Amino acid sequence: MNDVFSLREMSRALADGQVSSLELTQDHLARVKEVDSRLNSFITLTEETAIAHATAADTLRGQGDKRPTLGLPMAHKDIFCTEGTLTTAGSKMLSNFVAPYDATVVTKMADAGMVSVGKTNMDEFAMGSSNENSYFGPVTNPWDTDRVPGGSSGGSAAAVAAGLVAGATGTDTGGSIRQPAALCGITGLKPTYGRVSRFGMIAFASSLDQAGPMTRNAEDAALMLSVMAGFDPKDSTSANRDDAWLADVLHHGIAELERPAVIGLPDQYYENSGNQESLAEARQELEKLGHTFKSVSLPHTDAAIPVYYVLASAEASTNLSRYDGVRYGHRCENPTSLQDLYERSREEGFGDEVKRRILTGTYTLSVGYFDAYYLKAQKIRRLIAQDFDKAFADVDLLLTPTSPTPAFHKGQLTDDPVAMYQQDLYTVPTSLAGLPAMSIPCGFSQGLPMGMQLIAPAFREDLALGLAAQFQRHTDWHLKRPGEIN
């Protein structure tokens, strides 16, 4: 039954006593075991703890606990530390790492009674747009088994699209929630930077990393966000806010928009997009609902990819210097010296893309290049953020494609890192500006799902969710499911 259920539907079924959390959880586990050998969307299945947590949730429900999230099965991207469970970040470096504590996101979801059935596959250290950079093997797109699911949260996206779970956590540094959501035909939300705690989330680029929900629809994304979000003293960049809508959405769902929206269409995002047809149809639908459109300009868009690959690589080279083969993670055999231990442990433990990013970051931060690359990129980052500020003076939200193409073939871009980086064309600018953005399904191209991206001003996820929920009440793109996986 879980392959047709959303989180909200399961919540209602649990509340009505039609099903228990244990039954739902067992169904989920059975489906993963049946299907996932063909998708490879999970790295670890946590059957024992899932059964224990589901049983505990049922006991609480029996005692009168009526929280809407109680007993709902879901999955975590394997970038979130889970105490006592393997936490690999898709890397050989951490292939033996059992986290000694829980990430705040993991704690919050467990405290809300949600039941994690396992840890999903991902590009190594969240670096990639195809999920082909995982030490644990590539993930398959449920819509076409020859194609990639996108990345880096490709395991979460494929698992949700295939109906293995209705909701999974993801993380997004330059598009890693939104792009795989688009390529797998699901809903993915990257919240405002600072909205969700980064504590216990394995770091890639700390000024960009943000966790968010990947679900079948906007209502479920809002439900998960309401649990994941919140101030955390353990994350020094956590935003201390009191947004009443976040608490309301948990019990009452997404509120209707107060008035029709003025939606901006950034010229630069429509110049070369291969997604014109489905986006044009989506615009017509939104017009019927009373929304209006306005052309806007984000003049520094072209610089976003270069700026992102300077800043993210620089931050990655610094963050990943912690993997030294001494305190945890992979260590080479028979090191002859401390230097040899560092160099061979890192050479053996990291995959090719991670090494490329570390070396790119090392290059741009090195003597003689720092001002020309790192500082220059930080200045353009401000110009990009200012472009959005100016646009939001005139419009409520922005509507853009999420990715330049639908899901591409496995192996198609693996030999050309720069071509792979272009996958992030439409998602990277919002990451640099720290803004919330979500991808929702809006049509098909070549039989493959396409996504559209809604970008909102800082901390206005409610606007994007409100518009997405309304769109999904009037369309059925988000209800389309891939055929049986063979």
Partner 1 sequence: MTSNTNTPSDDSTPTSGDGIDVAHLSALARLALNAEATSEVASDLQSIVTLIDAMRTVDTEGVEPLSHPFDGTARLRADEVTEHPDPEHFQRNAPATSDQYYLVPRVVE
Percent helix / strand / coil, the chain, rounded to 5:
45, 15, 40
- The correct pick among 85, 301, 317, 439 for binding partner 1 (CB under 8 A) is 317
Q: How far apart are CA 338 and CA 317, in angstroms?
A: 20
**Residue 473 interacts with partner 1 (CB under 8 A): yes or no:** no
Q: Which CB atom, from 283 or from 356, has the smaller least distance to partner 1?
A: 356
Q: Are 76 and 116 in contact (CB under 8 A)?
A: yes
Q: How far apart are CA 479 and CA 473, in angstroms?
A: 11
Torsions phi, psi of 449, nearest 5? -65, 145
Q: How far apart are CA 13 and CA 29, in angstroms?
A: 18
Tell me whether residue 152 is one of the annotated catalytic residues.
yes
Q: At residue 351, what is the residue type?
A: G
**Residue 318 interacts with partner 1 (CB under 8 A): yes or no:** yes
Q: Which CB atom, from 34 or from 347, has the smaller least distance to partner 1?
A: 347
- The correct pick among 326, 390, 411, 446 for binding partner 1 (CB under 8 A) is 326
- The correct pick among 372, 394, 411, 474 for binding partner 1 (CB under 8 A) is 372
Torsions phi, psi of 196, nearest 5? -115, 135
- Least CB distance from residue 465 to partner 1, whole Å? 20
- The correct pick among 8, 346, 460, 478 for binding partner 1 (CB under 8 A) is 346
Q: What are the Cα distances from residue 45, in Å, to 355, 387, 431, 478? A: 29, 44, 31, 27
Q: How far apart are CA 48 and CA 43, in angstroms?
A: 15
Residues in region 430-469 near partner 1 by CB under 8 A: 432-435, 458
**Residue 337 interacts with partner 1 (CB under 8 A): yes or no:** yes
- Show the site string, 47-66: x = touches partner 1 by CB under 8 A, - = not: --------------------
Q: How far apart are CA 238 and CA 196, in angstroms?
A: 7
By C-alpha distance, which of 189, 194, 187 is closest to 208? 194
- Least CB distance from residue 85 to partner 1, whole Å? 13
Q: Which CB atom, from 253 or from 335, has the smaller least distance to partner 1?
A: 335
Torsion angle of the four alpha carbons 388, 391, 392, 396, in this order, in degrees rounded to the nearest 10: -120
Tell me whether residue 226 is one of the annotated catalytic residues.
no
- Least CB distance from residue 357 to partner 1, whole Å? 9
Residues in region 168-207 near partner 1 by CB under 8 A: 193-194, 207
| Catalytic residue selected from 11, 153, 156, 176 | 176
**Window of 114-122, 272-280, 382-390, 461-469 that interacts with partner 1 by CB under 8 A:** 382-390
**Residue 250 interacts with partner 1 (CB under 8 A): yes or no:** no
| Catalytic residue selected from 6, 116, 134, 152 | 152
Residues in region 91-110 near partner 1 by CB under 8 A: 96-98, 100
Tell me whether residue 273 is one of the annotated catalytic residues.
no
Residues in region 407-436 near partner 1 by CB under 8 A: 416-418, 421, 432-435
| β-pairing verdict for 115-120 and 73-77 | parallel
By C-alpha distance, which of 441, 445, 447 is closest to 482? 447
- Show the site string, 256-295: x = touches partner 1 by CB under 8 A, - = not: ----------------------------------------
The answer to whether the Cα torsion of 199, 382, 152, 93 is positive or negative is negative
What does R_g of the chain's alpha carbons equal in angstroms? 21
Q: Which CB atom, from 266 or from 434, has the smaller least distance to partner 1?
A: 434
**Window of 222-230, 257-265, 274-282, 346-354 that interacts with partner 1 by CB under 8 A:** 346-354
Q: Which residues carry out catalysis?
A: 77, 152, 176
